Amino acid sequence: MATRKASRRKGTRKAGKKMSPWTSFVKKIYSEMKRKNPNVKLGDAMRAASKRKSEM
pLDDT in tens, 10-48: 777 777 788 899 999 999 999 999 999 999 999 999 999
Provide the pLDDT confidence category of residue 1 given band limits of 50, 70 and 90.
Answer: low
User: In this predicted structure, what is the pLDDT of residue 2?
Assistant: 67
Separation CA 19–CA 42 (nearest Å): 16
Give just the sign of the alpha carbon dihedral 19, 22, 25, 26.
negative
The whole-model pTM stands at 0.67
Asked if 52 contacts 17 with a C-beta cutoff of 8 angstroms, the reply is: no
Separation CA 20–CA 38 (nearest Å): 25
Asked if 29 contacts 52 with a C-beta cutoff of 8 angstroms, the reply is: yes
